[in-house]
Structure 1
Amino acid sequence: MNYKEAMDFISNINKFGSVLGLDNIRELLSRLGNPQNKLKVVHIAGTNGKGSILAYLAGVFRESGYRAGRYVSPASFSYEERFRINEENISQDDLCYYMEKIKKTSEEMVADGGNHPTMFEIETALSFLYFLDKKVDVVLLETGMGGRLDATNVVDRPICTVIASISYDHMQYLGDTIEKIAYEKAGIIKEGCPVISYDNSKEANQVIKNVAKEKNCPLKFVNKKGIRILSESLNGQSFTYRSNSGRWYEKIEIPLLGEHQIWNAAVALEVLDIIKNYYCISEFQTEEGFRKTKWRGRLEILQKDPIILCDGAHNPDGARCLADFLQKNFTNRRIIYIMGVLADKEYEQMIQETVWLADSVYTVAPDNPRALSSKDLADMVRKCHSKVFVRDRLAQCLEEVKTISEKDDVIVVFGTLSFQNEL
C-alpha cells in the first residue's frame, strides 16, 4: 500500500460514519493482539482543554528524555499529525505499513460476518500498534467524543485518568444536561485507577465523584486555591501552584495564552504528581517542559501590527474563554472577526458570547463537509450585530481584511479547528 492508496482507504471508510460503542473496536484490537494493554496510558476526556493538557505533559516527558506518543483527533495541519512521538509525526511509510495491516484485518472481520470498523476505530487501533512497536514510554490518549462509548475507551488499566473542562457540546450524542455529559466523560474512569479532574461546575464534579467512588478510584480536583498568577502578557503567563499533595511549584511559565490555560497547566501538574512513581522527572525538567510547550491554534498570535489571532473556539465555553481574553487584553481597540463554524455546533450561543466585542464580522465557510454556509452564519450574526460581511473562503477574506486594517486593530479568526490548515 502506498500513501495515495492509504488515503483512498481512509476516504472510503468515511462512509461508515461515527458509531458509538466498543464491540467493534474490541474485536479489531483482539485480532491485532490487544496492543493497548501493553502500553502505559494517560487517558483524557473532556469538552475543552484535552489537547492543551496533553501538550504540557508531552513537553515535560520530552524534556525528561522519555518518548511520549500522542494520539490526537482531529488533526489540524496534516493527516499524519494524529500519530505523534515527541512532536514528530508518523512517517508516510509507517502510516502505510500499519494501514495495510489494519485494512486486511478489517476485511477479515467483514468476511466473518462482522461490521467494518469506522475511520476512528481504525485510527485508534493504528495508534496503539504504532506506539507499541516504537516502544514509547507513555501514551497520551485523547478521546474523540464523550468517553464511555468512545473507541479509545478500551485500555483496561491506564496509569492515570484525566477529566478536563466539561461544558455543552455534541449534545445530540452525549445528552442535553451537564450531568449527562459529565457521566459520558467520566465513563473512561477504570476500577482502582487514579483520577485527576479539572474543577468543573458543582453538578459535573458530583457526577465525577460518584463514578470515582463507584469504581474505588482515588480522585483529586485541581487545587484552585493553590494557584497564584504571577504575570500575564501576550508573550505568555506564569503562576505558582501548590498541589493537592502539598508539592510547591514556585514559578511555572507557559507560552499558551488565556487564564483557562493556567487551570489546564495545573491539571497537568497534578497528573505528574500522580504518575511520579513510573518516571524520573526533575523540577527543572518540569519547568522547561511547560515553558517550551507548543499547541497551535489556541489563542495563537500569528502576526503583530495589526495583531492576527487564531483560536480554535468551536463551542460556547470556548467562545466565552476567547471573549474573556479579548476583553482583558484589547480594551479600546478595534476588533474584527473572521468567523466560520460547523453546522452541527452550538453556533448561535457562540455568537452571543463573542460578537458584542467586534466592530465588524466577516463570515466564511470552513473547508469541511460539515461547514455551515457563510450566508447562513451571517444571517444568524445579523440578529446581534449590524456590520456583517459575507465572504467565501478564509485565505482571501483574511487578505482583504488586512488591507483595510490599521496598526492597532485586532483580527480574530475563530469558530473551528478546521481553520488552522487554511491559514
Structure 2
Amino acid sequence: MNYEEAMNFIQNTSKFGSVLGLDNIKELLERLGNPQDQLKVVHIAGTNGKGSTLAFLAGIFRESGYRAGRYVSPASFCYEERFRINEENISKEDLCFYMEKIKKISEEMVRDGMSHPTMFEIETALSFLYFLDKKVDVVLLETGMGGRLDATNVVKKPIAVIIASIGMDHMQFLGDTIEKIAAEKAGIIKEGCPVISYNNQESVNEVIKEKAKEMHCKVTFVNSEGIRVLSESLNGESFSYRSSDGRWYEKIEIPLLGRHQINNAALALEALNTIRNYYCISEFQTEDGLRKTIWRGRIEILEKDPLVICDGAHNPDGAKSLLNFLQNNFTNRRLIYIMGVLSDKDYEQMIQILTPMAAKVYTVAPDNARALSSKDLAECVRKYHHDVEERQRLKECLEEVKQQADKEDVIIICGTLSFQNELK
C-alpha cells in the first residue's frame, strides 16, 4: 500500500460515520493482539483543554528524556500529525505499513459478518500499534467525543485518568445537561485508577466524585485557590501553584495565552504528581517542559503588524475563554473578527458571547464538509451585530482585512480548528 492508497482507504471509511460503542473496536484490537494492554496510558476526557493539558505533559516528558506518544484528533496541518511521538509525526512509510495491516483485518471482520471499523476506530487502533512498536514510555490518549462509549475507552488499566474542563458540546450524543455530559466523560474512569480533575462547577465535580467512589478511585481536583497569577502578556504567562498535596511551584512560565491555560497547566501538574512514581522527572525538567510547550491554534499570535490572532475555540465555553483573553488585553483597541464555524456546533451562542467586542465581523466558510456557509453564518451574526460582511475564503479575506486595518487594530480568526491548515 502506497501513501495515496492509504489516504484513499481511510477517507473512504468516513462513510461509516461516527458510531458510539466499543464492540467493534474491541474486536479489531483483539485481532491485532490487543496492543493497548501493553502500554502505559494516561487517558483524558473533557470538553475543552484536553489537547492543551496533554501538550503540557508531553513537553515535560520530552524535556525529561522520555518518549511520549500522542494520538491527536483532529489534526490541524497534515494527516500524519494525528500520530506523534514527542513533536515528531509518524512517517508516511510507517503510516502505510499500519494502514495496510488494519485494512486486511477490517476486511476480515466484514467477511465474518461484522461492521467495518469507522475512521476513528481505525486510527485509534493504528495509534496503539505504532506506539507499541516504537516502545514509547507513555501514551497520552485523548478521547474523541464523550468518554464512556468512545473508541479510546478500551484501555483496561490506565496509569491515570484526567477529566478536563466540561461544558455543553455534542449534546445530541452526550445529553442535554451538564451533569449528563459529565457522566459520559467520567465513563473513562477505571477500577482503582487515580483520577485527576479540573475544578469544574460543583454539580460536575459531584458526578466525578460519585463515579470515582463507585470505581474505588482516589480523585484529586485542581486547587483553584492555590493558583496565583504573576504576569500575563502577549509573550506568555507566569503563575505560582500550591498543589492539592501541598507541593509548591514557585514560578511557572507558559507560552500558551489565556487564563484558562494556567488552569490547564495546573491540571497537568496535578497529573504529574499522581504518576511521578512511574518516571524520574525533576523540578527543573517540569518547569522547562511547561515553558517550551507548543500547541498551535490556541490563541496563537500569527503576525504582529497588524496583530493577527487565531483561536480554534468551537463551543460556548471556548468562546468565553477567548472573550476573557480579549477583555484582559484589548479593551482599548479595535477588534475585527473573521469567523467560520461548523454547522453542528452551537455557533449562535458563540456569536452572542464574542460579538459585543467586535467593531466588524467577516464570515467565511471553513474548508470542512461540515462547514456552515458564510451566508448562513452572516445571517446569524446580524441578529447581534450591525456590521457584517460575507467572504468566500479565509486567505483572500485575511489579505483584504490586513490591507484595510490600522496599525493598532487586532484581527481575530476564530470559530473552528478547521482554519489551521488553511493558515499554514
Structures share a fold, TM > 0.5?
yes
Letter of the structure 2 residue corresponding to residue 180 of structure 1: K
Partner of 1:8: 8
Distance, in Å, in 2 between the alignment partners of 1:158 and 1:246 is 25
TM-score, length of structure 1 as denominator length: 1.00
Distance, in Å, in 2 between the alignment partners of 1:138 and 1:12 is 31
Instruction: Write the deviation string for residues 347-396 of structure 1: whole angstroms up to 9, x where unpaired.
Output: 00000000000000000000000000000000000000010000001011
Q: Say which SS state the counterpart of residue 257 (structure 1) adopts.
A: coil
Partner of 1:134: 134
Spell out the pairing of 1:42-61 with structure 2 (5 A cutoff): 42-61=42-61
Instruction: Write the deviation string for residues 62-90 of structure 1: whole angstroms up to 9, x where unpaired.
Output: 00000000001000000000000011000
Spell out the pairing of 1:84-95 with structure 2 (5 A cutoff): 84-95=84-95
Letter of the structure 1 residue corresponding to residue 134 of structure 2: K
Partner of 1:386: 386
Q: Say which SS state the counterpart of residue 220 (structure 1) adopts.
A: strand
Is residue 2:334 matched to residue 1:330?
A: no
Partner of 1:231: 231
Gaps of 5+ in 1: none
Spell out the pairing of 1:27-66 with structure 2 (5 A cutoff): 27-66=27-66
Distance, in Å, in 2 between the alignment partners of 1:405 and 1:158 is 50
Spell out the pairing of 1:11-22 with structure 2 (5 A cutoff): 11-22=11-22
Distance, in Å, in 1 between the alignment partners of 2:321 and 2:12 is 37
Letter of the structure 2 residue corresponding to residue 56 of structure 1: F
Distance, in Å, in 1 between the alignment partners of 2:235 and 2:246 is 29
Distance, in Å, in 2 between the alignment partners of 1:241 and 1:325 is 21
Partner of 2:182: 182
Q: CA deviation at 1:202?
A: 1.0
Q: CA deviation at 1:246?
A: 1.1
Distance, in Å, in 2 between the alignment partners of 1:174 and 1:247 is 36
Partner of 1:289: 289
Partner of 1:215: 215
Deviating above 6 A after TM superposition, structure 1's stretches of 4 or more consecutive aligned residues are none
Q: CA deviation at 1:301?
A: 0.4
Spell out the pairing of 1:255-404 with structure 2 (5 A cutoff): 255-404=255-404
Q: Say which SS state the counterpart of residue 44 (structure 2) adopts.
A: strand
Letter of the structure 2 residue corresponding to residue 12 of structure 1: N
Spell out the pairing of 1:165-180 with structure 2 (5 A cutoff): 165-180=165-180
**Paired residues, number:** 423
Instruction: Write the deviation string for residues 76-131 of structure 1: whole angstroms up to 9, x where unpaired.
Output: 00000000001100000000000000000000011111110000000000000000
The alignment's C-alpha RMSD in Å is 0.4
Spell out the pairing of 1:118-133 with structure 2 (5 A cutoff): 118-133=118-133
Instruction: Write the deviation string for residues 196-250 of structure 1: whole angstroms up to 9, x where unpaired.
Output: 0000011111100110000000000000111111111000000111111111111
Instruction: Write the deviation string for residues 39-78 of structure 1: whole angstroms up to 9, x where unpaired.
Output: 0000000000000000000000000000000001000000
Gaps of 5+ in 2: none
Q: CA deviation at 1:257?
A: 0.4
Instruction: Write the deviation string for residues 5-28 of structure 1: whole angstroms up to 9, x where unpaired.
Output: 000001111100000000000000
The percentage of aligned residue pairs carrying the same residue is: 77
Q: Say which SS state the counterpart of residue 362 (structure 1) adopts.
A: strand
TM-score, length of structure 2 as denominator length: 0.99
Partner of 2:80: 80
Q: Say which SS state the counterpart of residue 416 (structure 1) adopts.
A: coil
Distance, in Å, in 2 between the alignment partners of 1:354 and 1:49 is 19
Letter of the structure 1 residue corresponding to residue 223 of structure 2: N
Partner of 1:408: 408
